[in-house]
């Protein structure tokens, strides 16, 4: 039952509860809280165009520096590979020079014996002395002494793309020139081999090589002086044989000429490469 002065205790309790809310206890009643206290930082938290440009520039510089560093490392590595290739190549060329000198010497010796055989073509082969000389000189017919260059490093350079590493002036051109010189040698070598084979086959039609197993003709590596027979005394076959020997002689002389022309080029080439790589 409520009188005119009765209170609503429930409402009063709710108001008191609201007044003592812990959430409000830390607030100063004298300093009001406004939305300005929650304003975002300057520029509204957004990056300006200048900031983007600076970051982009830094990224660009980093990429460029990395690219340049990689190029430097690659350049140093390529230089080292170039030096290694050329040291090996110079060694091969020196071996070529030694082989070339031996090949020239042996073919000059062969040429001298072929000249002696051609001299006998104008003599009477039926005499004992001329017949023994004929067989003696004939051991150089069919004799091969060919120049073989050491192309191990050159093949590595060409097959692995190593020629692109050669940066020094005219070195790659000189390597190509040497390869061209070798082609001329091999061209002359083809004729040399063909002529040598032809003379050898013609000799088999005339000479009896079994005499070397008969000690009455040939003993301890020397002729005994006894008259040596031929398989055939056919004058036509003898004429053909001397024609083949003449052909072999001409081809041998041509081969020697090509080898002689290569020798000064090879000497200068080695000297040039040594100055470029070994005297650094």
Q: What is the pLDDT of residues 36-87, one digit of tens each?
A: 454 455 555 566 777 767 677 777 776 766 665 555 555 555 567 777 888 9
Q: Is the separation of the CB atoms in 172 and 230 below 8 Å?
A: no
For the beta carbon of residue 240, count every other beta carbon within 10 angstroms: 15
Report residue 88 CA to chain centroid gap: 10
Q: What is the pLDDT of residues 83-101, one digit of tens each?
A: 788 899 999 999 999 999 9
Q: Is the separation of the CB atoms in 224 and 68 below 8 Å?
A: no
- The DSSP element (H or E) to which 223 belongs, if any, is strand 222-223
Q: Which residues pair with 223 in a beta bridge?
A: 218
DSSP class per residue in 159-219: HTTGGGG--STTHHHHHHHHHHHHHHHHHHHHHHHHHHHHHHHHHHTT--GGGGG-TTTEE
* DSSP 8-state assignment for residue 278: I
Percentage of the chain modeled with pLDDT above 70: 74
Ranges of beta strands (E only) in 26-184 are none
């Amino acid at each position: 039952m409520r009188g005119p002065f009765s209170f609503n205790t429930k409402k009063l309790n709710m108001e008191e509860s609201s007044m003592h809310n812990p959430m409000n206890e830390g607030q100063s009643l004298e300093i009001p809280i406004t939305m300005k206290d929650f304003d975002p930082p300057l520029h509204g938290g957004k990056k300006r165009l200048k900031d983007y440009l600076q970051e982009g520039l830094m990224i660009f510089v980093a990429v460029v520096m990395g690219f340049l560093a990689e190029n430097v490392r690659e350049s140093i590595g390529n230089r080292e590979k170039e030096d290694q290739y050329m040291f090996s190549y110079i060694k091969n060329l020196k071996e070529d020079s030694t082989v070339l000198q031996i090949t020239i010497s042996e073919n000059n010796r062969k040429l001298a014996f072929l000249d002696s055989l051609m001299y006998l073509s104008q003599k009477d082969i039926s005499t004992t002395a001329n017949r023994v000389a004929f067989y003696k000189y004939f051991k150089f017919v069919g004799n091969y002494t060919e120049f073989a260059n050491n192309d191990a490093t050159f093949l590595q350079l060409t097959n692995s793309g190593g020629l692109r590493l050669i940066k020094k002036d005219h070195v790659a051109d000189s390597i190509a020139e040497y390869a061209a010189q070798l082609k001329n040698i091999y061209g002359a070598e083809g004729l040399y081999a063909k002529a040598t084979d032809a003379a050898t086959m013609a000799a088999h039609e005339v000479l009896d090589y079994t005499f070397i197993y008969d000690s009455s003709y040939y003993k301890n590596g020397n002729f005994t002086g006894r008259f040596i027979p031929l398989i055939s005394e056919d004058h036509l076959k003898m004429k053909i044989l001397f024609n083949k020997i003449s052909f072999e002689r001409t081809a041998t002389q041509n081969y020697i000429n090509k080898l002689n022309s290569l020798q000064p080029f090879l000497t200068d080439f080695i000297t040039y490469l040594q100055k470029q790589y070994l005297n650094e």
